[in-house]
A = this chain, B = another copy of it.
């Protein structure tokens, strides 16, 4: 007969196996450059190696770790490799990982202040720290009318902002009786696809999300925005929301926040600013001009899990008027009532996002900021920008290549002059080689390669090698 603690891992076993996992990760970091960056697995290959049925009896921990090495690693695309230049980075660091491990070990729920006060208060505190670290307007401080919260992703943050805007514009009637098809939102043709998804989810509909045209730098045109708002108003619609982007996903374009903000202010629209990757650059004062005009923003967000060494998921989202957000998302059933909530003296973060449950995510962010210090973080952001600028310089100097967009920070959009097929071939060969991983976009209708410098351990030699390999593959392309 098993006793009550049978099957559980004892604290001593946890110690032993935990050390083994930590060591495995340290070793993984040391040998990460030995793997092909993009997994070479074929569809179905990983599944085919797994047993059809779950085990009836438990297995020793060592067997699990061996299977990670043998069965899982071949199917991993190494996002933490210094040769990863694809998409946007999703970088991590020792202090981030260990802060998150502590969060798992504590295993608390932060849905209400009372369900773990430290979970709420550390989060509020660190998000207030970031307001000053990033030079954001004081209205986003919890001591003013606003405040910050950790969301999972920029997609969820955008959805929450859109919902709050919808409700403010309809006087909180949509929440009661449903959206009536008259609410309209605005983004640019270059805005992240999550805004279209948010419009669908919120019952606003994709056709009521206007995609405003962009200028030659792929930035939203404020004059076109103003004209569209005016036309929609004349048609009896209810404009409510604009999303402006600091560093679009496709090409790192910078929407003119200041001018867009004035249009929003004149028309009483909610301005959400999405700085998912590029927001981290504001740690360095010299890059803050890229988001001039934030005093007009009703909400702002960036992802420390992209470029600030904090492992996924960690999106920081601020609102200028927390009441508008809370009024949109709050529901209080009896089983969640408690004295602290009713006193009004505390924040209950469940009213700040979609989910009810929430983990202690501020621990990892706190660890990252304290481990690096503001100056350590600034140092690495400047390095990454410098490396990307150097790469852009090489592209400019090479007769076979051209830049496809401005390079304000750490993303370089470029192309071989040989046309779409040539660029497609170059990209596929590079990615198949496993030496590096980069992805593409389309700009001015043309296939464009993207090289984004933002991985924690990317050094000069990795960027030099990327350029060498790109030119090697380019030479094989028929003229």
Residues of B within 8 A of A104 (CB): 92, 96-97, 100-101, 311
Contact of A371 (CB < 8 Å), options: B58, B71, B79, B118: B58
- A54 contacts partner chain B, Cβ-Cβ < 8 Å: yes
- A293 contacts partner chain B, Cβ-Cβ < 8 Å: no
Residues of B within 8 A of A383 (CB): 4
Contacts A113-B43, A117-B75, A179-B178; is A156 near B312 (CB within 8 Å)? no
Q: A342-365 vs B: 1/0 string, CB under 8 Å?
A: 010110000000111101000100
- Looking at A191-199, A217-225, A226-234, A317-325, the stretch in contact with chain B turns out to be A191-199
Assembly stoichiometry (copies): 2
CB distance B201 to A354 under 8 Å?
yes
Residues of B within 8 A of A337 (CB): 440
Residues of B within 8 A of A478 (CB): none
Contact residues, A27-42 vs B (CB, 8 A): 27-30, 38-39, 41
Interface of A (DSSP majority class): helix
Contact of A105 (CB < 8 Å), options: B25, B58, B363: B25
Contact residues, A13-31 vs B (CB, 8 A): 13-15, 17-19, 21-30
Closest chain B residue to A19 by CB distance? B19
CB distance A54 to B374 under 8 Å?
yes
Residues of B within 8 A of A47 (CB): 121-122, 124-125
Residues of B within 8 A of A312 (CB): 107, 109, 357, 359
- Looking at A399-407, A456-464, A465-473, the stretch in contact with chain B turns out to be A456-464
Contact residues, A190-222 vs B (CB, 8 A): 192-194, 196-197, 200-208
Residues of B within 8 A of A340 (CB): 43
- Looking at A284-292, A327-335, A415-423, the stretch in contact with chain B turns out to be A327-335
Most chain B beta carbons < 10 A, residue from A44, A106, A124, A192:
A106
